[in-house]
Amino acid sequence: MDRESESLKPYVEIRICRHPPASKESPSESVYRLDYYEGMTLHRALEEIYRKLDPTLAFRPYRCNKGICMSCLVSVDRKRRQSCTTFLRPGDRILVEPEKEHSPIRDLVTAFE
């Protein structure tokens, strides 16, 4: 594939807030670019980042497949979202942070109690 058609391939850009385990440090950010495919959800994108790009990414891998268990709750562009029902669109550039109502553990993982 030449450079021009490569650049035309639809992608999504996901900025992830990396919350450190010790709350004194300030969070950093990682940016990942993934090829877009039809029906891509944020949860599947996070799985892909973890498997193929960055094994250090912490997120809650569990999903109930029905959009009701709330395990995959995160903040997307400062809004509370379940990542398994958040669809991505080609060209999306989004900021994903740990969900704010619960205390952060690491990266996107929070404690629920």
Binding site for another protein (CB under 8 A): 21, 37-41, 44, 50-51, 55-71, 85, 87, 105-107, 109, 111-113
Residue 56 CA to residue 84 CA, distance in Å, equals 20
Q: 3 vs 21, which CB is nearer to another protein?
A: 21
Q: How far is the CB of 80 from another protein (least distance, A)?
A: 16
Dihedral of the alpha carbons of 94, 71, 22, 95, in degrees to the nearest 10: 0
Residue 24 CA to residue 70 CA, distance in Å, equals 27
Q: How far is the CB of 105 from another protein (least distance, A)?
A: 5
Q: 4 vs 84, which CB is nearer to another protein?
A: 84
